């Protein structure tokens, strides 16, 4: 696996080192897990923003309901679960 150097603050390095010691994982793995969790949280935050905008717009809700109805017809395609 290729690696690169990334500059982080001393405080972040100390926190990373403490988390690695506590978990028994290498600092690189702790950082990988943290980045993956942050990435997933960003996706959820964006989805929440979109749904909030949908909730606030009657026009958008109606358009979404029409689209959902169209997709409902695909459930009758004869494919069993």
Residue 38 lies in a domain: yes
Q: Which residues contact 20 (CB under 8 A, 6 or more apart)?
A: 26, 27, 29, 30
Residue 11 lies in a domain: no
The pLDDT score that the predictor gives to residue 74 is: 76
Q: Structural domain of residue 34, as residue ranges?
A: 26-75
Residue 62 lies in a domain: yes
The pLDDT score that the predictor gives to residue 3 is: 87
The rounded distance, in Å, linking the Cα atoms of 27 and 33 is 10
Q: How many domains does the chain fold into?
A: 1
Residue 19 lies in a domain: no
The rounded distance, in Å, linking the Cα atoms of 62 and 60 is 5
pTM: 0.72
Q: Which residues contact 26 (CB under 8 A, 6 or more apart)?
A: 20
How does pLDDT run across 29-53, given as a tens digit for each residue?
A: 999 999 999 999 999 999 999 999 9
């Amino acid at each position: 696996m290729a690696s690169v150097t990334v500059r982080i603050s001393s405080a972040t390095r100390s926190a990373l080192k403490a988390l690695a010691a506590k978990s028994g994982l290498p600092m690189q793995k702790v950082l990988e897990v943290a980045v993956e969790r942050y990435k997933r949280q960003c996706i959820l935050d964006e989805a929440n923003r979109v749904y909030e905008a949908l909730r606030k717009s009657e026009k958008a809700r109606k358009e979404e309901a029409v689209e959902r109805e169209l997709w409902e017809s695909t459930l009758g395609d004869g494919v069993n679960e």
